[in-house]
Chains A and B, each alone.
Chain A
Amino acid sequence: MKIYAYGVIDSNEKIDETIRGLNGAPLFNVPYRDIGIVVSDLNAQIQKEDKTSVLKHEEVVEMLMDKFTVLPMRFSTLFSGKEHISLMMKNYYDDFIGNLDRLREKIEFGVKTIWPGDLIRERITAAHRKSDNLPLVASSSGKSFMNEKFENYKIDKEFEEEADRCIAVVDGFFNRYVSEKRLEKLKTDNLLLSAAYLVDKEKSDDFKKAFEELRSSGGDLKYLLSGPWPAYNFITLSRSMDGKFGGPDLIKTILQHKDPK
């Protein structure tokens, strides 16, 4: 029998035990001092490519979010017994308290911005070719090769500067309503911005209005607002090994394994 953990909450009280977790198991709150961690027993394995389990995890966390300040655990956090949970809560207590205080009455919104990056890059490239009068196909000489490299560097730089300008405009719509933010620029050429914003619950309507203003401002950019979410992106642990067991790292490992170069 393993114990599956959903999230740490700012309560050591019993929770509604009629609510079900993974595989229909009842949820319970394991108290530690003035906080608790919500868990359920888990007998079976979580299946690969099983979105149901991920959605159930999220459903439970969002339900907790309605009643408590919650620090969501990453999907798949399992313990082999209650004594291990108590030990973990003891070790992480200060971290959890710090995060619970910081994230109280706050929610997360996601904003993704897509721009026609490929077209913008083409436009910048064409402008450079025209102004520098460079041949479209580089000759084999070393000098031409270096010129081409330098030209590409300048194009990349200009592309990034253009991205920075657009991100500043998008971000400017939200600045006054957010407590914290995490911005990721150009995860791909077309995904200009992947942003997470931490917002006071009482300012969430203002935030949504700001998004509507942004969306109706015209232009070639497309926007996606998601949320409100539990504050997944804003948990900071001093003793975290964040990433060691995370998806992207293993994906990188798999890719590196397939492509050793």
Chain B
Amino acid sequence: MDNLIKTLQDKKSYLDLRKQERVTLLEILDRALEKGVVISGDIVISVADVDLVYLGLKVLLSSVETMERLRGAPFSGADEEPT
């Protein structure tokens, strides 16, 4: 994500960058906390609070759609490789 911000620094406003950062984090959350390899059974310990991490961060970040509506601006920059 740091690379992304560096890449866009010259051509984006601060607000654009903040928005971009949040969109990127949302995309990461949707993957790292919802997808990927899930191991079943007693041999794995799942952090009990992981669901709260997901819920908490989602609430803090709102959703992509809501951000888009509230800010009223198109995804300027968000379509340019956020990783």
A contact residues vs B (CB 8 Å cutoff): 2, 7-8, 45-51, 53-55, 57-58, 61-62, 71-80, 84, 87-88, 92, 110, 112, 114, 188, 190-191, 208, 211, 215, 222-230, 232-233, 235, 237, 239-251, 254
A51, B45: Cβ atoms closer than 8 Å = no
Known: A51-B57, A75-B50, A79-B45. A223 touches B34 (CB 8 A): no
- Nearest Cβ in chain A — how far from B30, in angstroms? 8
A72, B34: Cβ atoms closer than 8 Å = no
A/B interface sample: 30 pairs, CB < 8 A:
A46-B53, A48-B53, A50-B53, A51-B57, A54-B33, A57-B32, A58-B28, A72-B36, A74-B34, A74-B37, A76-B47, A77-B37, A78-B44, A78-B45, A79-B44, A79-B45, A88-B44, A92-B39, A114-B65, A222-B68, A224-B23, A226-B23, A226-B24, A237-B37, A240-B38, A241-B41, A245-B46, A246-B33, A247-B33, A250-B51
Tell me the complex Cα distance, A229–B25, Å: 13
Q: Which of B30, B36, B78 has the most CB of A within 10 A?
A: B36
Q: Which of A74, A226, A228 has the most CB of B within 10 A?
A: A226
Q: In the assembled complex, which residues on chain A have CB atoms less than 8 Å from the CB atom of B51?
A: 245-247, 249-251
Interface majority SS on A: helix, strand, loop or mixed? mixed
Q: In the assembled complex, which residues on chain B have CB atoms less than 8 Å from the CB atom of A232?
A: 31-32, 35-36
Q: Which of B1, B41, B50, B52 has the most CB of A within 10 A?
A: B50
Tell me the complex Cα distance, A190–B43, Å: 41
Q: In the assembled complex, which residues on chain A have CB atoms less than 8 Å from the CB atom of B65?
A: 114, 188, 190-191
B83, A190: Cβ atoms closer than 8 Å = no
B64, A88: Cβ atoms closer than 8 Å = no
Contact pick for B44, options A53, A55, A77, CB 8 Å: A77
Size bin of chain B's contact surface: 35 or more
Closest 9 CB pairs of A and B: A247-B54, A250-B51, A241-B40, A49-B56, A232-B35, A76-B50, A232-B31, A76-B47, A74-B36
Q: Closest chain B residue to A111 by CB distance?
A: B79
B10 on the A face (CB < 8 A): no
Tell me the chain B residues, 5-42 only, with Cβ under 8 Å from chain A: 23-25, 27-41
B45, A73: Cβ atoms closer than 8 Å = no
